[in-house]
Amino acid sequence: MTLDQQALATVFTEARSHNGWSDKPVSDALLRDVYDLTKMAPTSANCCPARFIFVRSPEAKEKLRPSLSSGNLEKTMTAPVTVIAAIDSEFYEKLPELFPHADARSWFTSSPAVAEETAFRNATLQAGYLILAARSLGLDTGAMSGFDKAKVDEAFFAGTTWKSNFLINLGYGDPSKLFGRLPRLPFEDACLLA
């Protein structure tokens, strides 16, 4: 079964990166639904290294404020939810549960470089999956790398093994605040058939 054109438009072809938001709230139940789709998409050795902090209370938004770049400040402070897409640098501690048929934990405890590359690759994939999951459930999204990672990590993750990767605003977008749609590379420029 393939998705119909309307579904593809919702998730890909008509979906946009939003800069302004309507007042319509986003429930915690919907955030759980977004995560429950996101978690089902694949990661290597089922390692699931992404962690997601759904920042939606005014107090938590204020904790985020000092780390935001000027261009990302207003849209983030007004978004109903800002997700800190994070990475658990010790994701491998969950592998006895997540990948029980092999000693996968040792693949990563024996090589910090492999652990770091695996964590970054898969957590970034999972954050992308979260964008598509949110769009699939009718939300608009706006990803952002313009923020001070050290400040976010200090404010939210001090004393833990979690580290921020990027931010994703969630809500119902205000189309009047969209930037113009930018071109994408055609197949001929971005792909090879080998």
List residues near ligand FMN by CB under 6 A: 16-17, 71-72, 143-146, 166, 181-182
Nearest approach, Cβ of residue 194 and ligand FMN (Å) = 27
Q: Can you tell me the distance from the alpha carbon of 136 to that of 64, in angstroms, rounded to the nearest whole number?
A: 27
Nearest approach, Cβ of residue 71 and ligand FMN (Å) = 6
Q: Report the residue number, 36 or 74, with the smaller CB distance to ligand FMN.
A: 74
Question: At 115, is the secondary structure helix, strand, or coil?
Answer: helix
Q: Report the residue number, 16 or 151, with the smaller CB distance to ligand FMN.
A: 16
Question: At 94, is the secondary structure helix, strand, or coil?
Answer: helix
153 by Cβ neighbours in 10 Å (0-12 / 13-18 / 19+) ranks as middle
Q: Report the residue number, 52 or 99, with the smaller CB distance to ligand FMN.
A: 52
Nearest approach, Cβ of residue 15 and ligand FMN (Å) = 7
Q: Report the residue number, 24 or 181, with the smaller CB distance to ligand FMN.
A: 181
Q: Can you tell me the distance from the alpha carbon of 147 to that of 89, in angstroms, rounded to the nearest whole number?
A: 20
Q: How many other CB atoms are found less than 10 A from the CB of residue 149?
A: 15
Strand partners, 87: 50, 163
Q: Which residue has the CB atom at the shortest distance from ligand FMN?
A: 146
